[in-house]
Amino acid sequence: MQLGREHWERAFSVLERAFSLNKARSIKDMKNTFQLVRNIIPPLTTKKHKGQDGRIGIVGGCQEYTGAPYFAAISALKVGADLSHVFCTQEAAPVIKSYSPELIVHPVLDSPDAVQDVEKWLPRLHALVVGPGLGRDDGLLRNVKGILEASKARDVPVVIDADGLWLIAEQPALIQGYQKAVLTPNHAEFRRLSEAVLRDPMDSSDPHGAVLRLSQALGNVTVVRKGERDVISDGRQVLECSQEGSSRRCGGQGDLLSGSLGVLVHWALLAGPEKTDGFSPLLVAAFGACSLTRQCSHQAFQKHGRSTTTTDMVAEVGPAFARLFES
Ligand SMILES: NC(=O)C1=CN([C@@H]2O[C@H](COP(=O)(O)OP(=O)(O)OC[C@H]3O[C@@H](n4cnc5c(N)ncnc54)[C@H](O)[C@@H]3O)[C@@H](O)[C@H]2O)[C@@H](O)CC1
Ligand SMILES: Nc1ncnc2c1ncn2[C@@H]1O[C@H](COP(=O)(O)OP(=O)(O)OP(=O)(O)O)[C@@H](O)[C@H]1O
Ligand SMILES: [Mg+2]
């Protein structure tokens, strides 16, 4: 199905270069950004082996939260990853396993050997999503610090979300300058990060500038600020995604986004900058995950209205992906 001009105008109310020297991009360019997402999607062929289209790890899941890592992990599979691993606490593991036979669940996160237990899987993972349903237990966060350090040492791309961002707000040096990191803060998480990193109250009149500055202060780590419009920056360029979503704000939508992003980050880095037309691959991946999540929300809301939950959105990942990127 062809998407009309109105669609593109809505989807990208703004797409701009970060610096005034560079001129703002036209709608045609904006439309091309959807094309860039299409460019990074690997073709489905009979020649590939299991695992080639993505082996994604989710670090999260504790006594309180089992839904969040499930939503992230199942979304990664529904987007097109072949294998989805969850690294969670001992007691969260049977619960998460019981939600889905499709997930590989490792009950290691609260073990004294947590870092080594996850590290031995790192060579087999294409990306790690750190934080959905992690909680804020000091011991767990210490282990996650070690896991992040091990991931950086092995050059594994990381998406950091939810309580992973709590850790980054406490210790921004952990991620400073790591070019394969994407942070996906919601409103509260963005405020905490800004206060920690910029030591400056947030400027609500300039949402683009606020995301740009945070990314720059973190050494060009890619930042996705979720909200009514999603603002994405790598400290050089700013992209905005205002794909029509819904007014339903049920918990778990951000987990769907971060799990999807784990796969898209892998695909974008594999495709490389020649496929993303000079844009950073991570920026294109983030735009893809934001528009997909919002489209899932839109489609689920059309069917379920006020009763829409994240499970309904997960069921829309396939059709939403096809509509946005494969039509
Ligand atoms: N089913 C589950 O297991 C779920 C678990 N979750 C987990 O819950 C933990 C805490 O996540 P939270 O997102 O609650 O983080 P926080 O504990 O930092 O809370 C964020 C707060 O900000 C508020 N807020 C959100 N958007 C706002 C806006 N635009 N303006 C003003 N206030 C706003 C929310 O109501 C919430 O109270 C994380 O581990 C997360 O992954 C969530 O992902 C939701 C689903
Ligand atoms: N006011 C809004 N209007 C439209 N879409 C929104 C709005 N706020 C958030 N979203 C969308 O909802 C999705 C999740 O963002 P949200 O801010 O709810 O994340 P979150 O709080 O981390 O979610 P979670 O409950 O999974 O932790 C994103 O795709 C974002 O674009
Ligand atoms: Mg969240």
Is it the case that residue 143 has pLDDT exceeding 60? Answer: yes
* Distance in angstroms (rounded) separating the CA atoms of residues 66 and 242: 29
- Tell me the one-letter amino acid at 274: E
Contacts within 8 Å (CB) and 24+ apart, 18-24: 18/212, 18/233, 18/235, 18/236, 18/237, 18/238
**CA–CA separation, 163 and 30 (whole Å):** 33
Average pLDDT over residues 99-125: 98
Q: Which helix (H) or strand (E) holds 97?
A: helix 93-99
Q: What integer pLDDT is reported at residue 161 of this predicted model?
A: 99
Residue 202 scores a pLDDT above 70 = no
Per-residue pLDDT band for 249 (boundaries 50, 70, 90) equals very high
Which run of H or of E encompasses 104? Answer: strand 104-107
Looking at the CA of 193, name the nearest ligand: 1
Sheet holding 127-130: strands in order across? 15-17, 237-241, 230-233, 222-225, 181-183, 158-160, 127-130, 55-59, 83-88, 104-107
> Sign of the CA dihedral 178, 269, 188, 190?
positive
Tell me the pLDDT band of 276, cut-offs 50, 70 and 90: very high
pLDDT in tens, 224-239: 999 999 999 999 999 9
Q: What is the ipTM of this complex?
A: 0.97
Question: Does the beta carbon of 225 sit less than 6 angstroms from any atom of ligand 2?
Answer: no
Residue 100: which residues within 8 A CB-CB, separation 6 or more?
70, 73, 74
Average pLDDT score over residue span 151-160: 98
Q: Does the pLDDT at position 316 exceed 80?
A: yes
Q: Is the CB of 180 under 6 A from ligand 2?
A: no
Ligand sitting nearest the alpha carbon of 137? 1
Residues with CB under 5 A from ligand 3 (ion): 162, 254
Two tokens, residue 255: 């987990």
Residue having the nearest C-alpha atom to atom 12 of ligand 1: 162
- pLDDT on residue 154: 98
At residue 220, φ and ψ (nearest 5 deg) are: 70, 25
**18 pLDDT tier (thresholds 50, 70, 90):** very low
Nearest CA to ligand 2 atom 10: 227
> Rounded mean pLDDT of 102-122?
98
So what's the pLDDT on residue 72?
99
Percent of the chain with pLDDT over 90: 86
Distance (Å, whole) CA 152 – CA 1 = 41
User: How many residues in the chain?
Assistant: 327
Specify the residue with its C-alpha closest to ligand 2, atom 14.
254
What integer is the mean pLDDT of 263-277? 95
Q: What is the mean pLDDT of residues 68-84?
A: 98
**pLDDT (0 to 100) of residue 29:** 55
Q: Which amino acid is at 239?
A: L
Closest CA to 129 of 54, 41, 66, 69: 69
In the predicted structure, residue 79 carries a pLDDT above the cut 80: yes
